[in-house]
Structure 1
Amino acid sequence: MFKNYLIIAWRNIVKNGVFSAINIFGLAVGLMSCILIMLFVREETGYDDWIKDKDRLVRMHTAVNIPNQPAFLTVRSAGRMMEAIRDYATNEVETGMRLIQWGTTVQHNGEGFAEQITMVDNSFFNVFALPFLHGDIESSFNKPMDLVITEEMATKYFGRTNVLGETISFCCLGGNPITLKVTGVLKDLPDATHLDANFIIYLNPAMFGENDNVLNTWSSLNVYTYFKMREGISVEQLQDRINYWLNNESPMVNMLKERLGDAANGLQVTDTFQLNVMSVPDLHLNAKNDAGNMGDLTPMGDQNMINTFVVVALLILVIACINFMNLSTAKASKRAKEVAMRKVLGASRTQVAFQFLSEAVALVFIALLFALAATEIVLPFYNEIIGKNLQLMLFSDPYLLVSLCLVATAVGIGAGLYPALYLSKYLPGHILKASKSSESQSSAKLRTGLVVGQFATSIILVISTIVVYSQTLYSTSVDVGYQYDNKLVLNIRATGDNLDSLKQELLNLPQVTDVAFSSESPTQDNENNNYFSLVEPNQQGEKLEPLLLNYHHMDYGFFESYGVNLLAGRFFDKNYGTDAITQLPEGHEGMGKASVILNRAAVTKLGFTDVEQIIGKTLVLNDHELTVIGVIPDIHFRSIKFGIRASAFLLDENRFRVANIAFQSNDVSGLMDDIHRIWKQQVPLQPMNLQFLSEMMAAQYRDETTTAQLLLVFSALAILVSCLGLYGLSAFTVERRTKEIGLRKVMGANVSQIVKLLIWQFSKPVALANLIAWPIAMYAMNSWLEEFPYRIEQWYLLPICLLVGLLSLSIAWLTVGGNAARVARKNPVHALRYE
């Protein structure tokens, strides 16, 4: 019997070629969308699932909440926190470890290669039980400066994996070149991990002996801190233990009192300073909430983006299912006699319903084959958009194969259930007596409602796409307060004492107009923050407590090179001779002298409304007195998503990390070659890291751009599937009204009148869909835009909705009008003979 069902199903699919093609195409598009999203979601939600005891691993993040200031958030923590909490929370914590990432250069066979090294405590492999290919934990990682590398790095530098005992030279670690022996080789880590660990070095605290703000600190946040919890302990239990320690027994209790004085009465440490633990499997998607302006070891995911595209894929699939239901119920009259004859010959309603369900499932599996082929074709382009390397390994991944079969079966049942129940309820006597089926009013209303639903869904997607694109364009076009075109950013960490020589060589190039050093360039804000004390009373006569300000180090001429305006005072100038911070000799008594430039937000935060009034005032930072010499506008040093922060700009050449190169040239590739030549002369063993600032600015909005591009693609697919359904439905409606159209022509109606009549019939559900979609889309997009301190005006949503409404009506008119015009042009004699 089942074979008979399949044969009849195939005959009906072939017999109704146009409608079958519409259904198959729509379902294939929906299934392809689901497959693409499924591959993406599975990788994003599977990060670090492969790690042993993953549910017992947590990382500690830091949040600083200063009254009347934006919260400072980071996924890092202070160097002394790990040992303190590990030794205090012994009932909750089995072990802990710190991780520090450092950019360096591997020197091999006379060449330099930029690499990231990962320095960790000796308990690293007790926390992360990574698999060894050569060596083991006991022999490979038991003393400071032991080096473990991945098989990828072993192959890259030695051409083989068993490289135990080989040496690798780095320049530099702790400011000095060093050669380390390879003591272990790890298997390559999966792509789906937040870890970025190709060179793992047993951390030697002596390397940072003179730099207390790395390890020996309670406040400078430079390390990643991990804990392995004991069996049966939850994240919440460890969090409660940490909070108790912070508020009662940590050094931060006294630090709070010293910082705030009497204002600290009644406050707990956690009111202003928090250490939050997060499960390692949750880091990829949720660490973004704790990261603030800082990045993570690897690019972070976005749970909201995943949720959005899961919903989008499901909506496209629902639209395709609606097409199937509409066309199946609309074609009911063509199969009424078939149903009647089946029942007369003894078929039960269950058997008839099963026949139609089997047809639906068969149709979906045919669509699945097309969807898999389409997925293979579009997957490279999809990977390019999302920056992944997803693969459809269907036969080597039984979980995926079974999942797709279950999805296809569920879609077939879901799409075919109502048509099966609707068609199987026909009464043989009524059908055979009338020689036709009569469509109930409720069925027609349901079909209209489904059309409204699918167009409303498509309209919401299109409005969302336009809003996301508009916001992305707005973000990239906002005046950031400086000129970033024709700028190159050169990493100069490895140049040592060659800065002056490098600068002069670059300035000698005819295309280069200026070179200015800085601690970071725009987009590279490393979230340097410190407390600055205003010596004098502010403009309101208040004596302020020390204020936390963001700070950067800029060279002479930096602001001039970037075209930054001056609101008051002056820029750094060599002629004054007192602007730069100098290292104070040991035993020096008294404070050093230097200058500082503030942005408008910092001036306001210090209590000055008139920028001229703060010129000449003194700020104290550590062991230096800083004279305010200038005020600049609030420039966006980072993406406008992060808003403006109160910032101070200093001049300490020991903190310079990048060279900002301004140029004027039509031969950009030639300029790059010239810079590369100079670099090889000045720093022969170091790889050059040179980027266009404009590209770095655009990269800040990569997530929004990716979202917009994917929304555009999926919205176009949703519109296409909806239009196919409308085309099929209108074709059937025109077919059913063929005689009516013939009579109208006989009675004197022309083609345009008939087309208008049918267009009006289908315009009403599309217009209703707009009225339903607009408020939903406006609410959703307003909520999304709230994430941006600078965003498009809300009233823009209204013209966007109107535009999309006209677009949807135009598409509906073209779709329906084409069918109507084709039939209306026929000779009425043929129409009247139509059966």
Structure 2
Amino acid sequence: MFKNYLVTAWRNIVKNGMFSALNIFGLAIGLMSCILIMLFVRSETGFDNWLPENDRLVRLHSAFHMPGREPFLSVRSAGRMMEAIRDYASNEIETGVRFIQWPLTVRQNENVFSEKVTMVDGSFFDVFKLPFTHGNSSTSFNKPLDFLITERLALKYFGKTDVIGETLTLCCLSDTPSDVVITGVLADFPENTHLNTEMIAYLQPALFGENNGILDSWTNLNVYTYFKLNAGVNLEDVQQRIDYWMNNESPLVEMMKQFLGEKAIGKKVTDFANQKLMPLTDIHLYARKHAGNQGDLTPMGDIEVINTFSIVAILVLVIACINFINLSTAKASKRAKEVAMRKVLGATRTQVAIQFLLEAITLVFIALLIALVAVELILPLYNQVLGKNLELHLFTTPGLLLVLIALALLVGIGAGLYPALYLSRFLPGHILKASKSAEAGSSTKLRTFLVVFQFTTSIVLVIATLVVYGQTIFANSVDLGYQSNNKLILNIESAGDNLASLKQELLNLPEITSVVYSSEAPSQDRENNDQFKLLETLPGGGANEPLIINYHDMDYGFFEAYQVKPIAGRLFDQNYGTDTYIPVEDGEDRVGTASAILNESALTKLGFKSPEEAIGKTLAFRKHHLTIIGVIPNLYFRSIKFGIRASVYKLTPSRFRVASLSFNTNDLSSLLTKVARVWKNNVPMEPINVQFLSEMMKAQYDNELTTAQLFLVFSVLAIIVACLGLFGLSAFTVERRTKEIGIRKVMGANVTDIVRLLIWQFSKPVVIANFIAWPIAGYMMLSWLEAFPYRIDNLVLLPIFLSVSILSLLIAWITVGTNTTKVARKNPIHALRYE
């Protein structure tokens, strides 16, 4: 019996070649989309699942909501938090560990590389049970400066994995290069982990003795803090315990009173400062909401993107299933007599339904094979867009194969169930009467509804794609307040005392027009925040209070190099000799003096009514009095996603970390070669780290660009599948109305009249789809755009909506017109002889 079903199914598939091809191709596209997105979702949702006891591991995130400034969010925490919380909540927390990640230069013989070394507490392996290739946690990591590397780095530096006892030179854990002996080798981490820790050093607090703000602080957020909870402990209970400590017993209680004064009356610490725990396996997808613009150890994922593309995959597959339903019911009249004869010969309705259902499942499995081949071909390009290394591993991952088989069965049953039930209900007596049609009005209405759904979905996807692209283009073209073209950004942290000679040699290059130093370059944001207090009393103002304001340090000529002009006052100028900020050492009984420049947001925040009013006023900052010498426009020093904030600019040479090189050549390869040669002359033992500013600026919007590219791909696929269905429906409609077309031509209708008639019939559901899609797409994209403080104008959506509507109609007209024109051009005699 089953063999007979299969043979009959195959014969019908071959007999109805165009019907089968349209369905197989549409289903293959839908299944391919599902598989591609499934691979992406599986990778993103599987982060850190490989770590033992991951259900007991959490990380501590920090947030400050201080009066008068925007919230400051970070996935890091203060250095003293780990021990304090671990000891206070010892009934809930088994142990904890801190990470400090430090970019260092690593030398091995003649090889020099830039690496990130992660310094961790000795309790690291009590929290993270990482596998060793050589050595073990008890013997390889039990004293300060024990040093571990991964297999990959062992092969990179030594060409083998058993490298215990080998030596690497690090510059610089302290002020001078340090030789470290490798004490163990870890197995390489899987790709889907947020831990970016290929070099691990046992933390020695003495290394940070001169910078006690890293470990010995309650408010400076410099470390990543992880806890291992006791078995059976509820995360909410631990969080409540931490909140109670913060509000009642932590040092922040007194610090808040001192800092906020009267504003702290009747308030809790957690009204201003929070320490929130997040499960380890949630970090990759959910930490974004806690991270602000600080980032994480590795690039963060986004659960919203996962959800969005999961829905898109389902919608593309549903559109393909709709094609099957539409084409099957449209062809019902062709198979009605077959059903009738089967029933006359003794077949039951169940047997007929099984026959049609098996045909659908057979088509789906053929489509699945095609989809798997397509996935293998497309996967390299897909990985390039995502920046991942996804692989199918169909036969080495039995679970995946079972999921795909189950998906194919589900799609086959979902797509074929209605046609099977619809076709199997035909009554032999009704069908076998002459000139009786099997077509019912309810079937036609259903097909119209499904076509409307297909095009509504496709139109929404296309609109979403164009809006995302539009916002990305807007973000890259917005007036930043400075000139960012033709700039190279050179990291100078390892240049030491060679800054003067480095700068001079760079200026000697004919392609270089200026070299200026700064604490960070545009797009680099280290969230430097501190208290500034205006010493003068403004007219009509009360006592000035300290305000938390962001600050940057810029060299002489920095603003000129970026073509920033002051609104009032002047810029930093060596001729005055009073602009440089020289830190006052601890124990010195003096107040330092220096100059400061404000942006417009800081001007407003400090209470000035005009830029001119601020000139000459004084800000108290640490042990210094800063004279305001100028006011500049607001600059987008970070992505427009985070908006403009109040900023103070000062000139502190000891904080310079990058050089901005302005150039005037199109021969970029030659320029980079010359800059590298100058660097090698001045800093021979350190690798160069140089980037084009334009690339750094674009990188801020990589997530949005990737989202837009994926949306574009799947939107196009959705439209293709919808058009396949429309093409099939129009072909069957034209076939069914062949005699009508012949009669119309005999009565004087021309080709244009006939084409116009059928195009209008199929245009109506597309027009209806547009009216439905507009409010849906409008609501979705306006909600998405709300996340951007600066975004495209809402009126821009109108031409996008109109363009997509016109495009959808054109596609429908071309699809239907191709079929109709071919039949309409035939001689009427052929149409009138048509059976």
Q: 2:827 matched to which residue of 1?
A: 827
Runs of 4+ in 1 over 6 A off after TM superposition: none
Map 1:741-760 to 2 at 5 A: 741-760=741-760
Tell me which moved more, 774-783 or 535-544. Answer: 535-544
Residue 261 of structure 1 is matched in structure 2 by: 261
The Cα shift of 1:765 comes to 0.6
CA contact (8 A) 2:532 2:619 kept: yes
Counterpart Cα distance in 1 of 2:540 and 2:590: 29
Letter in 1 for 2:475: S
Gap change, CA 1:755 and 1:492, over 3 Å in 2: same
Taking structure 2 as the reference length, what is the TM-score of the superposition? Answer: 0.99
**Equivalents in 2 of 1:543, 1:481: separation in Å?**
33
Deviation at 1:68, TM superposition (A): 3.6
Cα deviation for residue 541 of structure 1 reads 2.0
Q: What are the superposed Cα offsets for residues 218-253 of structure 1, whole Å, 9 maximum, x if unpaired?
A: 111110011111111122111111100000000000
Q: Post-superposition shift, 1:576?
A: 1.5
Q: How big is each residue's C-alpha offset from its partner over 1:488-522, in whole Å with a ceiling of 9 and x where there is no partner?
A: 00011111100001000000101100000011100
Q: Matched residues in 2 for 1:544 and 1:222: separation?
A: 30
**1:174 CA displacement:** 2.5
Quote how far apart the aligned CAs of 1:586 are. Answer: 5.5
Cα deviation digits, residues 87-120 of structure 1 (max 9, x gap): 1011111001110000001111223101000000
Residue in 2 aligned with 1:763?
Answer: 763
* Contact 1:566 1:630 (C-alpha < 8 Å) held by counterparts: yes
SS at match of 1:117: strand
1:104-115 equivalences under 5 Å are 104-115=104-115
> How far apart, CA to CA, are the structure 2 residues paired with 1:380 and 1:362?
29
1:481 CA drift (Å):
0.5
Cα distance per residue 1:330-363 (max 9 Å; x no partner): 0111111111111112211111111111000000
Q: How far apart in 2 are the matches of 1:303 and 1:466?
A: 21
Using a 3 Å threshold, how does the CA distance of structure 1 residues 586 and 744 change in structure 2: closer, same or farther?
A: closer
Question: What is the rounded CA distance, in whole Å, between the counterparts of 2:193 and 2:534 in structure 1?
Answer: 45
Residue 666 of structure 1 and its aligned partner are, at CA, apart by 2.4
In structure 2, relative to structure 1, the CA distance for the partners of 1:111 and 1:94 (3 Å cut) is same
* Cα deviation, residue 436, structure 1: 4.7
- The residue aligned with 1:451 is 451
Matching residue of 1:290: 290
Asked whether 1:377 is paired with 2:377, we answer yes
2:563 matched residue in structure 1: 563
Mapped to 2, the partners of 1:697 and 1:4 lie a distance apart of 64
State the secondary structure of the residue aligned to 2:593.
strand
What is the SS of the residue equivalent to 1:576? coil
Q: Distance in 1 between matches of 2:588 and 2:105?
A: 36
Instruction: Report what 1:44 is aligned to.
Output: 44
Question: d(CA) in 2 for partners of 1:432 and 1:11?
Answer: 23
CA contact (8 A) 1:104 1:170 kept: yes
Tell me the residue number matched to 1:92.
92
Name the residue aligned to 1:714: 714
Amino acid at match of 1:390: L
* Residue aligned with 1:800, SS: helix
Number of residue-to-residue matches in the alignment: 835
Shift of 1:435: 6.0
Say yes or no: does 1:694 pair with 2:694.
Answer: yes
SS in 2 for 1:176: coil
| One-letter amino acid of the structure 2 residue matched with residue 114 of structure 1 | S
SS at match of 1:25: helix
Q: CA deviation at 1:437?
A: 3.8
User: AA paired with 1:333?
Assistant: S
Which digits, 9 at most, give the CA deviation of each residue in 1:652-708, with x for residues without a partner? 111111110001012221111111111111111111111000000010010111111
Partner of 2:589: 589
Alpha-carbon distance in 1 for matches of 2:56, 2:403: 29
Q: Secondary structure at the match of 1:434?
A: coil
* Residue 552 (str. 1) matches residue 555 (str. 2): no
Distance 1:540 1:15, change over 3 A: farther
Alignment partner, residue 274 of structure 1: 274
* Letter matched to residue 287 of structure 1: A
CA positional deviation for 1:542: 2.5
Q: Distance in 2 between matches of 1:672 and 1:501?
A: 18
The DSSP-based 3-state class of the residue aligned with 1:170 is strand
Task: Name the CA distance, whole Å, in 2 between partners of 1:78 and 1:335.
Answer: 74
- Maintained 8 Å contact 2:458/2:718: yes
On the 8 A contact 2:584/2:590 being kept in 1, the answer is no
- Is the CA contact (8 Å cut-off) linking 1:110 and 1:685 kept in structure 2? no
Aligned-partner Cα distance in 2 for 1:61–1:75? 4
Q: Give the residue type in structure 2 aligned to 1:218.
A: W
Equivalent in the alignment of 2:299: 299
Question: Is contact 2:365–2:408 with CA below 8 Å preserved after alignment?
Answer: yes
Which residue of the partner structure matches residue 186 of structure 2? 186
Question: Is 1:663 matched up with 2:663?
Answer: yes
Q: Which amino acid aligns with 1:395?
A: F
1:95 and 1:227 in contact (8 A); partners too: yes
SS of match in other structure, 1:698: helix
What does residue 28 of structure 1 align with? 28
Call closer, same or farther: CA 1:180–1:65 in 2, change over 3 Å: same
**Structure 1 residue identity aligned to 2:555:** D
CA distance in 2, matches of 1:70, 1:5: 68
* Equivalent runs, 1:434-449 vs 2, <5 Å: 434=434, 436-449=436-449
Question: Displacement of 1:459 after TM fit?
Answer: 0.5
Are the aligned partners of 2:519 and 2:657 in contact in 1 as well (CA < 8 Å)? yes
SS in 1 for 2:497: coil
Asked whether the 8 Å contact 1:246–1:269 carries over to 2, the reply is yes
Q: Alpha carbon RMSD of aligned pairs, Å?
A: 1.0
Aligned to 1:579: 579
CA contact (8 A) 2:68 2:547 kept: no
Task: Determine the structure 1 residue equivalent to 2:519.
Answer: 519
Residue 262 of structure 1, CA deviation: 2.1
The CA distance in 1 between the partners of 2:663 and 2:543, in whole Å, is 46
Query: 1 CA distance for matches of 2:666 and 2:45?
Result: 46
| 8 Å Cα contact 1:539-1:609 kept in structure 2 | no
| Structure 2 match to 1:425 | 425
Corresponding letter in the other structure for 1:370? I
Q: Aligned letter for 1:326?
A: N
Q: Which amino acid aligns with 1:631?
A: V
AA at the equivalent of 1:383: N
Look up the SS of the partner of 2:520 in the other structure: coil
- 1:739 Cα deviation after fit: 0.3
Take 1:815 and 1:421, find their aligned partners in 2: how far apart are those partners? Answer: 30
- Aligned-pair CA distance for 1:537: 1.7
CA distance in 2, matches of 1:630, 1:357: 78
CA contact 2:94–2:227 (8 Å) conserved in 1: yes
AA matched with 1:175: D
The match for 2:15 is 15
Asked whether the 8 Å contact 1:597–1:650 carries over to 2, the reply is yes
Residue aligning to 1:416: 416
Structure 2 counterpart of 1:773: 773
CA contact (8 A) 1:536 1:543 kept: no
- Normalised to the residue count of structure 1, the TM-score between the two structures is 0.99
Partner SS state of residue 620, structure 1: strand
What secondary structure, in the 3-state scheme, does the structure 1 residue paired with 2:549 have? strand
Q: Which amino acid aligns with 1:488?
A: L
2: CA distance, partners of 1:416 / 1:436:
25
Asked if residue 504 in structure 1 is aligned to residue 480 in structure 2, the reply is no
What are the residue-to-residue correspondences of 1:527-676 with 2, within 5 Å? 527-585=527-585, 587-676=587-676
Does the 8 A contact of 2:108 with 2:167 survive in 1?
Answer: no
| Structural mapping, 1:196-275, within 5 Å | 196-275=196-275
CA contact (8 A) 2:149 2:199 kept: yes
Structure-1 separation of matches of 2:109 and 2:69: 51
Residue identity matched to 1:698 = K
> Does the 8 Å CA contact 1:540/1:608 hold for their aligned counterparts?
no
Matches within 5 A, 1:320-339: 320-339=320-339
